[in-house]
Structure 1
């Protein structure tokens, strides 16, 4: 992420916006301290887009409807092939 001083960012705002589009987020500092980040609309939408919950994620799985073998042996030991 490139960093810009606030005065430089004000003076070269159009360049700052173009770089945010082409290079990604651009940091802005005041007196050497980071205070803001300029991002493109696409990046902002990606960051703020709500992620699906667990149930929605599972319902969207390509494995919906696949029958799984869920039977387990009821004994205390299992035979293992070595």
Structure 2
């Protein structure tokens, strides 16, 4: 079902209930689709199996030994502007 933004604001509990019972509810602004209200169940199904940002970062390519050694050596060199 489509809801004009003002109606969706005024009847938000009904929008949420219908999202639970009937499926996604479309909210329009000036006749243009602007947002979709989903039930938690629908949202979870949509996200199922998709990697998180942490999964993506940890799942990157492994560093070879030369790159790891270069990064390790660089970390031991003081940055500019540091006086001892």
TM-score range, shorter chain: 0.5 to 0.7
Measured on the aligned residues, the alpha-carbon RMSD in Å equals 1.4
What is the TM-score with the length of structure 1 in the denominator? 0.59
Asked if 1:24 is matched to 2:20, the reply is no
Q: Distance in 1 between matches of 2:7 and 2:13?
A: 11
Partner in structure 2 of residue 43 of structure 1: 42
Structure 1 stretches lacking a partner, 5+ long: 52-82
TM-score, normalised by the number of residues in structure 2: 0.58
Counting only pairs closer than 5 Å after superposition, residues 3-82 of structure 1 correspond to structure 2 as 3-50=2-49
Moved over 3 A (4+): none
After TM superposition, give the deviation of residue 16 of structure 1 in Å: 0.5
CA distance in 1, matches of 2:28, 2:49: 29
